[in-house]
Amino acid sequence: MKIPGIILGLIFGVVASRAEVEVPNVFSDHMVLQQGQKNPVWGKAEPGEKITVRFAGQEKSAVTDKDGNWKVYLDPVKATAEPQSLEIAGNGSKRVFADVLVGEVWMCSGQSNMAWSIDAINDYDMEIETANYPNIRLLKVPRVGTQEPQFNIDASWLVCTPENIKKFSAPGYLFGRRLHHALNVPVGLIYNAWGGSDLEAWLSIETLKAAGQDEYLAEWNEYLSHYTDETLEQEKVEYEKWLADGKPGKKRFEPSDVRTAQRRPANIYNGVLLPTIGYGIKGVVWCQGESNIGRAYEYRSLFPQLINTWRAQWGQGDFPFYWIQLADHNDEKPEPAESYWAELREAQTMTLSLPNTGEAVVIDLGEARDIHYRNKQAAASRLARHALAKEYGFQIATESPRYQSMSVDGNTVTLTFDHVATHLYAFDVPEVKGFAIAGADKKFVWAKAEIVGKDKVKVWSDEIREPVAVRYGWADNPVVNLYDRNSLPVTPFRTDDWPVGTMGKKTVYRGR
């Protein structure tokens, strides 16, 4: 029997399409593989198919499982700027990725202050025009919010050029560039930050349930049960009216569909993070927290949960995880007061209890009227200190000074600080600013302060005869000026453990 040509074409087309080896686009031309460690390469093909991967003189093979999944591990390779090819071959199909380098790979995650692009920072014109670094490679992960786990991303690695750097993460690039200069090896940067994202969006639903976030998830489910296309349209109408009326009152943002946006639990995990989990990295740099200030106390457990979860899922052990603490923002307060922002910073600092972590304090870089501070160079340099010293052996300071202990003598408290590399210093004026003091009644007043040694400060107020607690930088936008002389600002802190405003706040959905 003669089979019509069109049917033969369909048959062979199906066979050909099924035989194609598929890999996520985190593998592409111009990528950087992490030096000095085994790197996984994975993908999909026909069940039972043999897959062979060749790179740098080595050949690794695997047979796909019943679902067509496969994975191999490349042996460790030394850093090299010599372009090489990565070949992946199956039964009748082959993928070849060119211009592959080996060096240091870092992931740049978080929300808008990590996502803030090079073309919107201080000295943006100079930064862009001088961004000719053929051995720095960039991968910008698209923002896909979904409850369905994704295998792939619509992106590919690019060479760092003035054109390609414009919309890339400013802190991520500036951090990576510092490493590139210091190490003289290729650097790969995976940028997946999403402005306005909640931390909970970066974790799976299963992880959040295991972390005791049932009330939070239930509130989201209740909210989403009433959210429809009509809800979104009404929000757009209200937003347009606000614009037409001259933007009165509180600032509004253009509405987006919360069902696929960056605050819904697990949305970013499924659509952005999951397709890249396992790709060989040196570590993660993170800047996030503004969207979680309403649940700052919960951040004490959620942030460590995120770090531990990512490390477990990557399977590389306790890789470095460094973050930028919340900067100062909002109006300055005339008197000491409670602050959700200060609580979130405290939760971030507490997370330093995890191994192989580091915090870049930027309490001096923010602006009252703009949550997106422009001096990303200083923030990135403070991040880079951690990596250069802790991972690459450079003899430089890494930590901002942190409160260590206190003693009371009459109405004076003497504070001792840890991690003072040089000596404490009051910037701009001799007067040390930013301290508040309280007695047993828990009512704080502004305090006078004096540096009395390399690592000590005396604090007092004539209003408080028997002090029991001191706070420093405890505000949304504190006026502070205490530094280590190496330019690292003192970490905001409190000596007390009194109840704070977000304690017990399990559910605080705040709209978009």
What is the DSSP code string of 433-485?
A: --EEEE-TT--EEE-EEEEEETTEEEEE-TT-SS--EEEES-SSS----EEET
Task: Note the Cα 147 to chain centre separation in Å.
Answer: 21
pLDDT tens by residue, the chain, 512 residues: 455 554 444 444 444 444 589 999 999 999 999 999 999 999 999 999 999 999 999 999 999 999 999 999 999 999 999 999 999 999 989 999 999 999 999 999 999 999 999 999 999 999 999 999 999 999 999 999 999 999 999 999 999 999 999 999 999 999 999 999 999 999 999 999 999 999 999 999 999 999 999 999 999 999 999 999 999 999 999 999 999 999 999 889 899 999 999 999 999 999 999 999 999 999 999 999 999 999 999 999 999 999 999 999 999 999 999 999 999 999 999 999 999 999 999 999 999 999 999 999 999 999 999 999 999 999 999 999 999 999 999 999 999 999 999 999 999 999 999 999 999 999 999 999 999 999 999 999 999 999 999 999 999 999 999 999 999 999 999 999 999 999 999 999 999 999 999 999 988 654 43
pTM for this entry = 0.95
* CB-neighbour burial class of residue 436 (10 A; exposed 0-12, middle 13-18, buried 19+): buried
Q: Both tokens of residue 223?
A: 């909210």
244, containing H or E segment? helix 229-244
Domain boundaries, the chain: 403-490
Which one, of 487, 486, 485, 483, lies nearest residue 472 by Cα?
Answer: 483
| CA angle in degrees (0–180, nearest 5) for 479-483-489 | 70
Rounded CA-CA distance 471/415 in Å is 11
CA 425 to each of CA 251, 415, 454, 488: distance values in angstroms, whole numbers, following the listed order: 38, 14, 9, 10
Burial code (b: 16+ CB inside 10 Å, e: under 16) for 343-380 equals: bbbbbbbebeeeebbbbbbbbbbbeeeeebbebbbbbb
Place of tokens 């991967």: 53
Rounded CA-CA distance 134/177 in Å is 11
In terms of phi and psi (left: phi > 0; alpha: psi -120 to 50; beta: otherwise), the region of 65 is beta
Dihedral sign from CA coordinates of 204, 209, 210, 213: positive
